[in-house]
Each structure stands twice: as structure tokens, then as C-alpha cells.
Amino acid sequence: MATADISSAHPGDRAREPSFYAAHKGLKSWLFTLDHKRLGMMYLAATMLFFFVGGVAALILRTELLTPELDLVSATTYNKLFTVHGAVMVFLVIIPSVPGALGNFLLPLMLGAKDVAFPRLNLLSFWIYTLGAVFFLITLVTGSLDTGWTFYTPYSTSSGTAVISATFGAFVLGFSSILTGLNFLVTVHKMRAPGLTWNRLPLFVWAIYSTAVIQILATPVLAITLLLLIIERTLNIGIFDPAMGGDPVLYQHFFWFYSHPAVYIMILPGFGIISELIAVHSRKHIFGYKAIALSSIAIAIISFLVWGHHMFVSGQSELAGVVFSFLTFAVAVPTAIKVFSWVATLYKGSIAFNTPMLYALAFLFTFTIGGLTGIFLGALSVNVHLHDTYFVVAHFHYVMMGGTIIAFIGGIHHWWGKMTGRMFNETHGRWGCLLVFIGFNVTFFNQFIIGQQGMPRRYATYVPQFQQQHVLSTIGSYILGLGLLWTLIYLLRSLRSGAPAGDNPYGGASLEWDTQSPPIEHNFHGQPRVDADPYNFPQIDRSGGMDHH
């Protein structure tokens, strides 16, 4: 093993301690836990629950879109449904998913630490998230919000629906995000095991670290924006509403100044997962470690300077459009570097097609489409035609769902044994992955086509010429829904009947594989020490004399 833990040189000799699940019992041991692993599992359960809610809303939408006319729900209900779908998926699922669930569980383990730097703050983050989420969800459902997840003014300030409470919910959720980011940032700086230099950090840690930086710097802007919106609505001070002397386009600047970096809050952790999955299941040193790590940082920085590409047709100045377009293309380069590096990692590897690896390969397929279609939208003149059409819908689903969610599901499978101590049924996993992959592509690929033909987004009804592709999309969404449900079922079943996972089912070389599955309460028996990087697998052929560091 590349990473040496004094006490784990001979795992068989080591006394097994009870896992962190067995260390304490009862409801209170969960609700008031300071253990990052328990918090991670609770985030996992919460994001899965909200994913289900957002998914059901999506399936109702797709069913309505089977015909050009309204026949299942009213236009108002349709608008509420896409608002619920978008807002839940963005604020309650994608943003907290990877950092909240896998980040919490794995970060201290990967660093060889006992916990995060501020365990109490971590508990606070979780409770802020939970209260914010419950409040937000209740508002969405009972207050019948119909503004879309973007809350664009002046519709949002004139709409009779519960905009204030919903934005307040998003405001509260933002604080959870900031506190988690802060916690992770300090943890990475201060809690690394002896020998775990920055160049030896697993790429998942680099990704979580870059994400934390964006969370801390960008989320306050969302809070400010939402606060201004609340002030406008309650005190009638004209900020965004032209009827009171405000500027609706100013709101878009504020909103995207946060929400574009937020896109990278959503996707960077997914990148981190993919780096781990591809290296471990190929037993190959990741190709271009430094390029991947630094490209995350580059993306984090440039992501702050591209918000205007959401506003090419908003009436902002033409010069601003040109500058934002250029910077948008600049983000494409570090992203391309990552994709090429992942593919190159496969070269001369020993590739096992386990379920997590299948998800990683599916990610390479879908995320590459998501990234390449972004080029159309960054190109000014082409964007004018495609802006606010289904092309955009397809593009961001390929990035958010085909990128982050596919990576997240792959990550859940990869670390399932570590987190639960049980293995899921591998055959079931492969079938699930196939269903998800096919369903996803059937749902979204042809949306590029109706988008290029001019089908605008957020339409409850549409011109009949688009019906064929809408029907195909809806069929795809059912397959996708089925695949996800199937996955949820076999994962839950494995908790009772799954085979014991063992400490290191896939032969990983980073520190989390050096402890029990599930880990003990304090993670490691002794202080782990690190003398090599996390991709130094024993199968790597060193007879060629290649140097390692």
C-alpha cells in the first residue's frame, strides 16, 4: 500500500472495534451528533428524499408535455411544477449533495483526520440546511410559487405567490452552504495527516476545496440579492421593480453573479468523484494530477467572471456581451483538460467494469456532450437563436444531471461499502446504470434538436410540430425514473442482505480505505502517516524504472 498506517500493515491482526453506527444508539445520537460520518449519512438521506420530490415533479411535467395542449394540469400548476422541480433540484439536491453527503463522510477520512475542523459548526450547518429545506419545501407547495428557480424580477415582485418566504428559505440554505465551505477549507488546511502534502491530496479533496472557496465567496451575494428582493417587497423600496424606479436587469446581474459560480459549486465535486473512480477502477495513477488539481482552481476563479453569458439577450451592453463570451470560452479549456486527462488515465490500465466505474464512463459520455454543447451557447450570434430554448434545457441537464448527479450516484456506489459496510448486488447495479444512461440520453438528447428549432423553455403548451420529440423525451424520462427507482431499491435492500464489504473492496490507495468498513467512531486506530500519493497502486509496473514522487 502506498499509504502506510502503522497499525494497518496487517489488518488481520488488528482488533475490530465497533463501527460508528454501533458506537452510540438512539435518535439523539443522530440528531445531536458531532460525527462527520453520521452527518454525511443524514445529508445523503435528505438529498435522496428531495431528489425523489424533484423527480416526481419532473415526471408530471413530462407527462403533461406528451401533447401540445394542456390536458393533465392547468398552466398555473405547470408553472408551479417546474418551479418546484428546478428550485428543489438546485437548492436542496445538487448544491448540498456531494459536499454534504460524500464530502462530509470522506473528507476527514481522506485527510487521515478524526473529524472536520469544527464539528459543532458542521452540526449547525446540517440543521440550518434541514430547517431551510423544510421551510422552503412547505413554501413551494403551500405558497404555490410560480416564478421559476431564478425568481426574475419584476415578475417575482408582482407575482401574488409566496416569493418572500421562498427566497427567505433559499437565503437560509445559503448560510448552511457558507458554513460547510468554511469548515472544509479550514479542515483541508489544518487537519492533514503527517506526510499528506498538497501534492498528495486525493483529487476529490482538491475538488471539495475549490468548491469551498466558491461557496464562501459567492453565496453571500445570493444572500444580499434575496435580501434586497425581500426589502423591495416588504418595504416597497424600488430596487429591481421599474414601477418603483428599480432596474429588473440589475437583479439578473446579482442573481447570476452568484448562480454562475454556483454552477461550479455543483459540478466541481462531481469532477473530484470521477478522478477517484477512474483511477481506482483502472488501478492506474491518475494522468496529469497537477493539471486536474490546478484546473479546478482555475475554473473556480474564472467562474466568477462569466455571469453575463446568461444575459446575452437581456439588453446588457454589446461590449459586455463580447467580454463575457470571451471569458466563457476561457472556462472551456480547463474543463477540456480534465476530460482528456480522465480518458488518458484509462490508457494501459487494468479496467474493471464495476458499477461505480460504469457510472464514471457514463459521465465521460454525457458530461462531454454537456461541455461541448456549451460552446454553442458561449458563441454570441448562435446564443441569440438558442437562448431560453430547449437547447439550453438539454445543455444544463447534460451538465447537472449527466455530470453531477451521474458522478454522485457513481460515488455513492464506490463508497457504499465504506459507508454502510455492505455491498450492493453488482448485477443489479449494472442494470440500473444501463437504465439510467439510456433513459437520460433518450430524455434529453432530442431536446437539443427541438431547441435548435426554436422551442422556448418553460412552455406549458407548444406548437404541434414538436410533439414527436416531446413524446420521445417523456418516454426517456420514464425509463430514467425507473432506473433511479430500481437503484434506490437495491441499495436499500443491500443494507439488510448485502454481502460484507471488507475494508477495501476495490483496491483503493487513499486513506479512507485504510480503516474499517464502516469506519470506527474516531476513524483510525492510530495517527495515519502518508509516504506516497493516493494513486500509487500496487499493480503499477515499476520495472520500467519510472520515477514517482
Of 393-432, binders to other proteins (CB under 8 A) are: none
Helix 203-235, helix 163-190: angle, nearest 10: 150
Question: CA-CA distance, 369 to 363, in Å (whole number)?
Answer: 10
Q: With binding defined as CB under 8 A, does residue 380 bind other proteins? A: yes
Residue of 95, 140, 193, 540 interacting with other proteins (CB under 8 A): 540
Q: With binding defined as CB under 8 A, does residue 70 bind other proteins? A: yes
* Three-class DSSP category at 327: helix
Q: In degrees rounded to 5, what are phi and psi of residue 386?
A: -90, -15
Question: CA-CA distance, 263 to 303, in Å (whole number)?
Answer: 8
Stretch that binds other proteins, among 53-61, 128-136, 269-277, 376-384 (CB under 8 A): 376-384
Question: CA-CA distance, 154 to 167, in Å (whole number)?
Answer: 14
C-alpha grid cell, residue 192: 492533514
CA diameter of the chain: 75
How far apart are CB 51 and other proteins at their closest, in Å? 24
410 burial type by CB count under 10 A (0-12 exposed, 13-18 middle, 19+ buried): buried
Give CA angle at 92 (395, 328), nearest 5°. Answer: 35
How far apart are CB 206 and other proteins at their closest, in Å? 15
Q: With binding defined as CB under 8 A, does residue 52 bind other proteins? A: no
How far apart are CB 354 and other proteins at their closest, in Å? 10
Question: CA-CA distance, 549 to 544, in Å (whole number)?
Answer: 15
Stretch that binds other proteins, among 45-53, 109-117, 127-135, 362-370 (CB under 8 A): 362-370
Q: With binding defined as CB under 8 A, does residue 231 bind other proteins? A: no
How far apart are CB 487 and other proteins at their closest, in Å? 22
Decide whether 26 or 245 has the Cβ nearer to other proteins: 245
Per DSSP, what are the bridge partners of residue 500?
Answer: 422
Positions 236 through 275 that interact with other proteins (CB under 8 A): 242-243, 247-249
Q: With binding defined as CB under 8 A, does residue 470 bind other proteins? A: no
Positions 134 through 153 that interact with other proteins (CB under 8 A): 144, 146, 148, 152
DSSP code of residue 529: E
Q: How many CB atoms lie within 10 A of CB 359?
A: 28
Q: With binding defined as CB under 8 A, does residue 301 bind other proteins? A: no
Site residue total, other proteins (CB under 8 A) = 107
Identify the CA nearest to 103 among candidates 197, 200, 176, 160: 176
The C-alpha torsion from 213 through 216 and 222 to 228, rounded to 10°, is: -140
Q: With binding defined as CB under 8 A, does residue 297 bind other proteins? A: no
Q: With binding defined as CB under 8 A, does residue 379 bind other proteins? A: yes
Identify the CA nearest to 136 among candidates 175, 170, 102, 184: 170
Residue of 31, 322, 485, 489 interacting with other proteins (CB under 8 A): 322
Decide whether 13 or 318 has the Cβ nearer to other proteins: 318
Stretch that binds other proteins, among 127-135, 221-229, 279-287, 408-416 (CB under 8 A): 279-287
Stretch that binds other proteins, among 207-215, 277-285, 431-439, 516-524 (CB under 8 A): 277-285
Decide whether 386 or 400 has the Cβ nearer to other proteins: 386
Radius of gyration from C-alpha coordinates of the chain: 23
Q: With binding defined as CB under 8 A, does residue 1 bind other proteins? A: no
Residue pair 386/376 in contact (Cβ under 8 Å)? The answer is: yes
Q: With binding defined as CB under 8 A, does residue 130 bind other proteins? A: no
Q: With binding defined as CB under 8 A, does residue 445 bind other proteins? A: no
Identify the CA nearest to 133 among candidates 83, 176, 78, 184: 176
Q: With binding defined as CB under 8 A, does residue 350 bind other proteins? A: yes
Q: With binding defined as CB under 8 A, does residue 63 bind other proteins? A: no
Positions 103 through 122 that interact with other proteins (CB under 8 A): none
- Side-chain-side CA neighbours of 186 within 13 Å: the count stands at 13
Q: With binding defined as CB under 8 A, does residue 376 bind other proteins? A: yes
Q: With binding defined as CB under 8 A, does residue 472 bind other proteins? A: no
Positions 5 through 24 that interact with other proteins (CB under 8 A): none
Q: With binding defined as CB under 8 A, does residue 465 bind other proteins? A: yes
| Lookup result for grid cell 424520462 | 477
